[in-house]
Amino acid sequence: MPCSPRASFVAFARLADDAANAPELRARITLSRMAAADLDPLTGLEAFVLGLGVDRGGFDDLTWQFRELLAEIDTRTVPRDWWERLVRTYIGYGVFADLEREVVSGLSGEAGQIGRAALSDGSLTDVCIAMLRPAIESDPQLGARLALWGRRVVGEALGVASRLLQSRPVLARLVGIPVGAPGAADALGSVLGRLTSEHARRMRRLDLTA
C-alpha cells in the first residue's frame, strides 16, 4: 500500500481530540478543519487498493492492522495540559509522517505517486509552531518542561517505529532494511537515525533542545 490508511485515521482522531481540548475557539476551528482534511487521502488510497483486487473487508483489515502499535504513544504519553498535548501531536505526527516518507521512497509507479501526494501537506507542522512558539517564548519554564516532554514523546515514537519495522518485513524492505540478512540491524539503526535527525530539526523550529 502507498501509505497506511490507519495513519490517516490516527491523524484524524488525534487532531479531533486536540480540537475538542483546545483552550481557544480559533484553535478548535483550525484543528477541526485539519482533522477533516486528514481523511481526504483515504479516497485515493481506497480506490487504489480496491483496484488491486482487495475487497472492502480486506481494506478495513489493512486499515486496522497497525492500531495496537500506533495506540502505544497515547497510552504511554498522557499529557498534563494543552501544551503537552500539542507537543505530543507535533512530535508524534511528525515522526510517523517521516517514517511514511521513508516507506513511500521505496515505492515506484502509481503507488509512489499516491503516497507522496498523501504526505505532501506540512500545514500541521506550521500550525503547531504558530501555536507553541509564542507560549514558549513568553514562558522559559514552559519551554524547559516541553523540551523534556518532547524527549519522552520522541523516545516512545521511535520505539514504536522500531517495533513496527521489525514486525512488518514488507515495510522494512521498503525502507532498505535487508530482512534476515547481515546488516539488518545497522540498516534499522540508520532509519531511526534519520528519524531522530528530523525530530531534532523539528524541535529547533521551536527553539527547544531535542
Query: Consecutive sets of 10 residues in the chain, 210 residues long: mean pLDDT of each?
Result: 52 77 85 76 74 77 70 88 93 89 82 71 80 94 96 95 92 92 95 96 91
40-68 burial, b for 16+ CB within 10 Å, e for fewer?
Answer: ebbebbbebbeeeebeeeebeebbeebee
| pLDDT value, residue 7 | 56
pLDDT at site 10: 64
pLDDT of residue 1: 41
Contact in structure between 119 and 100 (CB atoms under 8 Å):
yes
pLDDT at 149: 97
- What pLDDT does 121 receive? 56
pLDDT of residue 140: 93
* Distant-in-sequence, close-in-space partners of 19: CB < 8 Å, separation ≥ 6: 27, 28, 29, 30, 31, 32, 35
| Class of the domain covering 5-204 | mainly alpha
The pTM of the full predicted model, rounded to 2 decimals, is 0.82
pLDDT of the residue at 78 = 93
Q: Where are the domains of the chain?
A: 5-204
